[in-house]
Structure 1
Amino acid sequence: MDDVIYNYIQKQLSEVPMILNRRLSYNGIEFNSKYEFRKLKSMIDSFLNNESEERYFVLPGIRGVGKTTILFQCYEYLLKEKNFNSNDLLYISCETTNFAGESDIEKIIEIYLDKIHNTTPALLDKPVFVFIDEAHFDKNWAMNGKVIFDESPYVFLILTGSSSLHLNYNPDAARRLNILPVMPLNYSEHLNLKYNYRTDIQKDLFDLIFTGEVENAQEKELTIQKELLSLDNYPLNDWNIYLNYGGFPTTFNIKFEDIIVSKSWSIISKVITIDMGNVFNLNKNNQNLTYKTLVYLASQKLGEISHDKLSNYLDCSKTNINNIINTLEKTQLIFHSEAYGGASKKVKKPWKYNFATPSIRNCINKKFGNSAGSQSEYEGILLENQIASNLFNLSNNNVSFDFNVYYDSQKGGVDFIVQKSFGNAIPIESGIDDKTKRQVKKAINKYDADYGIVVSNKTDCIEKRDDMIFIPPKTFSFL
């Protein structure tokens, strides 16, 4: 087995430098970088300048969000800008080594150091960088990485894998590693990657939501609107394309809708059959139930989902449904919000589920159909999912933005209620076309809120009228 791993390592050391251009460009145009690469680049520089000892990073995220591209960008940066020898840069995929019956990160690195550098982790005397894709195929990835971290101050580790990576490590390993979740794209990231356009409006939108101050966000919004109009190759319907298909950078350069749907469905299928099948030991029967569960969730109008109702619909046990839903959440294909209120309400009320990006919901509905009565209603469903995704990603993956997201379980309640610890409730309603502000007004009074927010295409720019703030969907999606 050691020979198989060694042969694979040799293959990677010789081939990866040759395929970088192909993996990091399209039609001769180099891919732009995401925030996670820029963060890792700064940490690499700090390590090389002896300014930081942080050198164990984990990037969890669902398939298709660009994790492998980030690894190759780090590799290229070290090879071409820092002039590292390619033998000091190892990229491996544990999915590939798993097919050979071996996904032990510690053992792979020890073989690499022994055969290529004629040393051990403890005796290594120069920096080497190890990039490990699909690390979740090593069941003990966190501790194996920790062992290497502890044995050598010269090994810099970057691991990517299933979203479950951030759940699958013990406290001892947690003290060593740094987690950088890679999420589906918000509209800011979409514009950066696709058109090389950057904006820093996110913080201003966050301040708008939690303080009610709109001036800074209005100024940034006006600047963005003017700059997008003069942006080369920027189509006027780009945001609509993004809403339907823009969550994954892997679909950027695909022009045909049916191929985008097929590509997106392939991502979903791999999560179910490979990630859920191997990592969570989901058998074939439960994998089939998972497909049906996703189709059911995607086809429903947004609202609370009862596990009892779902188990009856799929003719399976509630225990099975609970397991499938929990596993889907661990992969972060879906996420839930709880009812706003006290502990008893959170326990008694069903949860409300959304997809990681409306691209997933749209892909499933394009493939299997949906129950929306009109195009306007369907667009409203996608918009609510987009808002939920923006809020969920912001609240769960960035320590700078600490708040909780709920849904309003009252009859005729608003779509979302967001709240900082010990802060007032802030009701948010989304809508297409004829949505009114009545629900938000009702929520403001009921929850003693200082103001409410309406995300609607009935406004072209951010407006504040008394205790109501109106935000265009396109602007909100920069959050």
Structure 2
Amino acid sequence: MDELEIRNSIINNINNSYPLINNNLKHDYKYLKERTIYFELKEYIDKFIDSCNPNRSFIIPGIRGVGKTTLLYQLYKYLYEIKNIQENRILFLDLNRLKHRPDFNLLDYLDVFIKDINEEHYLTSTQLFVLIDETQYAKNWDIAAKTMYDENSNVFIVFTGSNALNLESTADTLRRSIKKQMYPLTFSEYTELNYNINMPYKFTDIIYDVLQTGDVEELEKIEKQLHLNEYKVLKHNIKKEFEYYLEYGDLPVTILKNKIDSIQTTLEVSDKIVETDMDLISSIKSETRLKAYELISLLATEKPGEIALNKIANNIQTSTKTIENLLEILRKTELIFPIEIYGSPSKKSRTPTKYYFLSTQSKAAFFLSEGDLSRDTRQSLGILAENMVASTLHRIKETKKNKTGVYYDARRGGVDFIITTKNGNVVPIEVGIGKKNKKQIIQAINYYKSEYGIVISNRTDFITKEDNIIFIPLSTFSLA
């Protein structure tokens, strides 16, 4: 594309962005509520506007359906309506719409926006804002990010996209940018978005401290306050609301949909990952793609267990090498993530890995549409609860920069998870639906010489501590 075509395209984009964004943010004449990450970026924007803060380049990866596009819409609305930034100084680019244009080059677009359309602002260092969605469709996006940062101290830029692209492309880009991963909704975010319940607590930090120390005093106080005040506005009792959240509630893309539409949309998100994102990581043949659908369905509808590659290969009639490659690609898309066995490096190399879904709702969609376990409410809820706890532990580990190790216990009759704290302590964790006896957790505490163990279940409505065993309600743990 020549410069004139790019200029006309950008001008058309600028003229149409606000009406499009404003319309997409409304539902029943009300605006969609913001997630925590919105307020974090809003604070960076405020500091940039006030003092040209050097923190002005952000990378926001996340699985499909997690709300990245809505986040950019809300930031645009904030800039235009609240901070009174003129439309021509804000560029919103959806690269999914531009990917088929001949010779599309992201850096060319940014140069025209900054140095041509905003030439006066460029020369006077007036602040400009660039919001780029679906970054995975731009080749050499990281070069554009590096160039923008190095050459334009007056430009605030946000890139969002699937991790299929590997948004950690170069060390240079990472040094210049702040990465903020978007995860599926926690239960606290879910209740905020659906019921306008104000959750002023940093639940991730609070649950993290419980895992690390076994001290439940602060969480007990907050939990009581929630039940006394905030949870009164829920349409159902807390356990019923939590069960709905497990099956339909952790992906923002379905937050305004009914159950049937929610299942369909969730399955479509998984299909899009297979049809589009996997190819951005590694080109795969059509017959291999069909095996990916079968593999995802198998992982979703069975109880999490050690992955025996040869068994799965036999079930879906392919090679173990193909299964191994597909699991790695799906891991990079963030649809699934691995948890290794607790033990020595040699033991880990000899023992299969367990795989869980980052979004429990994604797993539930297969249960509800085709899985036999959907007929057994208690069993299916138990499996979904285990997936939710695994996903929460994984997110806490990633958020806290690996200060917490997360593993599974491969001993016969072992607990569901083992975590290692930053001080090297071993904490066994058992998950379940319904009344559970203390036999497994007591055995694990004794076997690993742990100071305490944790049972996460719906056995209790409030946190309780019996000797060295901490009982945490599933709904409370899912707030993190």
TM > 0.5: yes
Instruction: Give structure 1 stretches of 5+ with no counterpart.
Output: none
Q: Which moved more, 1:315-324 or 1:245-254?
A: 315-324
- Partners of 2:124 and 2:294 lie apart in 1 by 51
Over the aligned positions, Cα root-mean-square deviation in angstroms equals: 2.0
Contact 1:184/1:248 (<8 A) preserved: yes
Kindly report which structure 2 residues correspond to 1:412-451, keeping only aligned pairs within 5 A, or say none: 412-451=413-452
Q: How far does residue 229 in structure 1 lie from its aligned partner after superposition?
A: 4.0
Contact 1:105/1:145 (<8 A) preserved: no
Distance 1:308 1:168, change over 3 A: farther
- Partners of 1:105 and 1:120 lie apart in 2 by 20
In the other structure, the counterpart of 2:273 is 271
Kindly report which structure 2 residues correspond to 1:321-336, keeping only aligned pairs within 5 A, or say none: 321-336=323-338
Q: How far does residue 11 in structure 1 lie from its aligned partner after superposition?
A: 2.3
Q: How far does residue 138 in structure 1 lie from its aligned partner after superposition?
A: 1.4
Amino acid at match of 1:341: G
In the other structure, the counterpart of 2:186 is 186
1:241 and 2:257 matched: no
Distance 1:34 1:373, change over 3 A: closer
Kindly report which structure 2 residues correspond to 1:261-300, keeping only aligned pairs within 5 A, or say none: 261-300=263-302
Q: How far does residue 402 in structure 1 lie from its aligned partner after superposition?
A: 2.4
Q: How far does residue 205 in structure 1 lie from its aligned partner after superposition?
A: 2.3
Contact 1:137/1:279 (<8 A) preserved: no
Sequence identity of aligned pairs in percent? 33
- Partners of 2:14 and 2:285 lie apart in 1 by 36
In the other structure, the counterpart of 1:141 is 141
Contact 1:94/1:103 (<8 A) preserved: no
1:357 and 2:359 matched: yes
Three-state SS of the structure 2 residue aligned to 1:260 is helix
Amino acid at match of 1:182: M
Contact 2:452/2:468 (<8 A) preserved: yes
In the other structure, the counterpart of 2:177 is 177
2:347 to 328, 345, 348: 345
Amino acid at match of 1:457: N
Q: Which moved more, 1:101-110 or 1:387-396?
A: 101-110
- Partners of 2:48 and 2:475 lie apart in 1 by 39
Q: Kindly provide the CA deviation profile for residues 6-53 of structure 1, in whole angstroms up to 9, marking residues without a partner as x.
A: 343222201111123322221112222112111111111111122621
- Partners of 1:272 and 1:135 lie apart in 2 by 18
In the other structure, the counterpart of 1:474 is 475
Amino acid at match of 1:433: G
Kindly report which structure 2 residues correspond to 1:312-327, keeping only aligned pairs within 5 A, or say none: 312-327=314-329
Q: How far does residue 370 in structure 1 lie from its aligned partner after superposition?
A: 3.5
Q: How far does residue 134 in structure 1 lie from its aligned partner after superposition?
A: 0.5
In the other structure, the counterpart of 2:410 is 409
Q: How far does residue 348 in structure 1 lie from its aligned partner after superposition?
A: 1.0
1:78 and 2:91 matched: no
- Partners of 2:455 and 2:286 lie apart in 1 by 44
Contact 1:228/1:234 (<8 A) preserved: no
Q: How many residues align?
A: 476
Contact 1:418/1:425 (<8 A) preserved: yes
Contact 1:104/1:144 (<8 A) preserved: no
Q: Which moved more, 1:408-417 or 1:419-428?
A: 419-428
- Partners of 1:168 and 1:268 lie apart in 2 by 23
Q: How far does residue 368 in structure 1 lie from its aligned partner after superposition?
A: 2.5
Q: Normalising by the residue count of structure 2, what TM-score does the alignment of the two structures yield?
A: 0.94
1:390 to 389, 392, 406: 392
Three-state SS of the structure 1 residue aligned to 2:93 is strand
- Partners of 2:315 and 2:451 lie apart in 1 by 42
- Partners of 1:4 and 1:281 lie apart in 2 by 32
Q: Kindly provide the CA deviation profile for residues 379-417 of structure 1, in whole angstroms up to 9, marking residues without a partner as x.
A: 100000010111111111344x72111000111111011
Three-state SS of the structure 2 residue aligned to 1:191 is helix
Three-state SS of the structure 1 residue aligned to 2:159 is strand
Three-state SS of the structure 1 residue aligned to 2:198 is coil
1:309 to 308, 311, 316: 311
